Amino acid sequence: MTNTTSINLDYLAAKYAQTIIQKTKDKKASDIENTITKALGVLQEDGVYACFLYLLAREKENGAVVVDEMLNLLSSLPFGWQKPTNNSEILPFISEQVTKDLDRLLLAREVLEQMLIYARYGAKARDKGGSEASGASS
């Protein structure tokens, strides 16, 4: 990388985790938390590619939001990765771009894991937080 500007990966993880919670405010918080927890488990146990595959195959409704924000996060990393424009391009993108270089894969995995952890906490907070946290405007 020739870019000398530091990128705050924790900020990016938090930003995209918040977006997941905002985009799913009309969904049951426990369902979102469940989807995110399962995705986090697959990511930690089986890796980045398996996590995307799981979300696309098994968590269709809630998984689509999580996948979209995971892709937004990956696209914001300084690797020049262009976000796929349709679902049929996602898995080839992950295998050919993200998993190809070990250093980039490890960085992507770490920041995606942090994002999912933040999103899970956000879903838990929304579930416990009453009307404001469950999406009602004040």
Give residue-wise pLDDT tens across range 75-127. Answer: 999 999 999 989 899 999 999 999 999 999 999 999 999 999 999 999 999 87
Residue 38 to residue 34: CA distance in whole angstroms = 6
- Helix axis angle for 102-128 and 60-76, nearest 10°, is 130
Q: What is the mean pLDDT of residues 13-37?
A: 95
> What does the alpha-carbon distance between residue 107 and residue 124 come to, in Å, rounded to a whole number?
26
Q: What is the pLDDT of residue 5?
A: 66
Span 56-74, average pLDDT = 93
pLDDT over 70 (residue 138): no
Interatomic CA distance for residues 82 and 91, integer angstroms: 13
The one-letter code for the residue type at 16 is Y
Please report the pLDDT score of residue 131 as a whole number.
41
pTM summary value: 0.87
Q: What is the mean pLDDT of the chain?
A: 89
